[in-house]
Amino acid sequence: MNPLNIPANRYPRHIAVIMDGNGRWAQRQGLPRIEGHRRGVSSVRRTVEECARLNIEQLTLYCLSSENWKRPQDEVDFLMHLLEQYMIEERSILMEQNIRVQIIGRRDGIPDQVQVEMNKTIELSANNTGTTLCLAINYGGRSEMVDAVQAISKKVKLGEFDYQSITEQTIADHLYTSGMPDPDLLIRTADEMRISNFLLWQISYAELWITKTCWPDFNESTLHEAIRDFASRERRFGGLNPSMDEEEV
């Protein structure tokens, strides 16, 4: 049964989400900011499970940016606790739903015990063939590009290839997301009109969808709304719709 009443070939292959508004949601409820993060985990669970049910190939969630370390230490510590808890408590569900987990971003600053649980989930789910859940943790798009340039420069220095042979594909192959499809749909919650250093290379042709809904209130219906809107758009990638003449453009 198709809950969206649109052809599956109109679904986005890869959905990326900037999960924003946890703190604002909590403040509006008269709660500490960390309660917004705790509630946000439920939204992650709902979104992951629904993407798996809809057979979305990949879902990438912006969990922790490289700039988030500037937040109060108790909030950062709580985010690390939630991440470790998620890796442990959701592991069996992820396996049941055939979801493969990948993580992008730098590992610097992430506590060792959290990394142990991250690695365990990645390894256990490596052979799953359903939706890929990619978590961007301690991630920054500019840092990713710096790391890619350094890796390519090292290979040029070692004579593995000539700098004149570097192409867009060369760069893509050295990003954290190497081998992953680029996002088709980028969702941002809490009505913010920013990219926030997220997948700067990869979202070049992504469709953007902004909602006023804060992340803790994001649910299956919100996801369906975003997918329906995506399906209604005509993606031309810089070209023209064959049905349009030049006077209409």
* Alpha carbon of residue 83 to chain centroid: 15
Catalytic residue annotation: 20, 68
First and final C-alpha spacing in the chain: 37
* Domain locations in the chain as residue ranges: 11-140+182-233
> CB-side exposure of 175: number of CA atoms within 13 Å?
23
pLDDT at 246 over 60: no
Torsion of CA 79, 80, 85, 88, to 10 degrees: 140
Is this structure's pTM higher than 0.85?
yes
pLDDT digits (tens, 9 = 90+) for 4-45: 889 989 999 999 999 999 999 999 999 999 999 999 999 999
Domain covering 11-140+182-233: architecture? 3-Layer(aba) Sandwich (3.40)
Q: What is the mean pLDDT of residues 144-151?
A: 98
pLDDT at 249 over 50: no
